Amino acid sequence: MSHGLKRYTTRRGGALAGCLIVLGVLVVLAIVGVVIVAMNWKGWAAGLTKSLADQAIQASDLPESEKVEVMAEITALADGFKTGDISFEEFKRIGEDIANGPLIPAAVVGGFESMYLEPSGLSDEEKAGGGLAMSRVAQAVSDDKIEADALKAIFNPIQTASTTGSGVHINHPKFTLHLKEPKACTDEELRQVIANAKAAADDAGVPNERMTFDVSDEIRAAIERATGKTPAVESGGEESGEGP
């Protein structure tokens, strides 16, 4: 299933850098991981989902208004599962949908920028170009235009043979990456990663523009795709904009 990243012109995608990778990983873990015990412990699963999601959301650098909306969507999902309005199979499909959507690829972009590019010796222009190139790659991954092997090739200059030691290890349904610690990467290696990313995005036909997304909208869309209905969100009022 292809999930297109939503395009915005009013804010820079880099605003999602840093802690958003924690948000992406924990939200998916909260939704998918608890299904092991969810059949017999719906209340516990719902509570854990909300607790983990809330911790990740509060640690993220999302705008406060978006934090409220994301938590409202997670709460609606967890409560719907607890009451039986959302079945076990639907709950599982929602988690799989989110895991395969743009949330984690885009979060990886934010993590790469904050952990690797920002502290490097690259110029501000190079860092901005690197963020743009990686954002385009995230779009391509979300649209299934870049396969796992091609994605690994992008990061070849900074990959490590270690799968458990120091470094950054990313396990995703579509790809697995094992990267050296940021401080162990040279500026030339990072420049090569950026060049690889730009070339891969060009080959995939991704527009040369920054992509970002709305976390709450992605979660709501996943619920709608799995259940065929809009979740009853209580967030202090209806969201502005067009309805579903």
Predicted confidence band at 31 (pLDDT cuts at 50, 70, 90)?
low
Least confident span in 33-42, 57-66, 88-97, 112-121: 33-42
pLDDT in tens, 40-63: 566 766 777 777 777 777 766 677
Higher pLDDT, 41 or 169: 169
Given a cut of 60, whether residue 13 has pLDDT beyond it is no
> Hey, which of 46-50, 75-79, 198-202 has the most confident mean pLDDT?
198-202
Helix then strand then coil, % of the chain, to nearest 5: 60, 5, 35
Mean predicted confidence (pLDDT) in 233-239? 45
pLDDT in tens, 100-135: 777 777 777 777 888 899 999 999 999 999 999 999
In this prediction, residue 203 carries a pLDDT of 95
Contacts with 96 (C-beta within 8 Å, 6 or more apart), sequence order: 32, 173
In this prediction, residue 83 carries a pLDDT of 85
The helix (run of H) or strand (run of E) holding residue 171 is: strand 168-171
Given a cut of 90, whether residue 201 has pLDDT beyond it is yes
Higher pLDDT, 165 or 64: 64
Mean predicted confidence (pLDDT) in 81-109? 79
Given a cut of 90, whether residue 24 has pLDDT beyond it is no
Q: What is the number of alpha carbons within 13 Å of residue 31 lying toward its C-beta?
A: 31
In this prediction, residue 193 carries a pLDDT of 97
Given a cut of 70, whether residue 243 has pLDDT beyond it is no
Task: Compute the C-alpha angle 4/50/43, nearest 5°.
Answer: 120
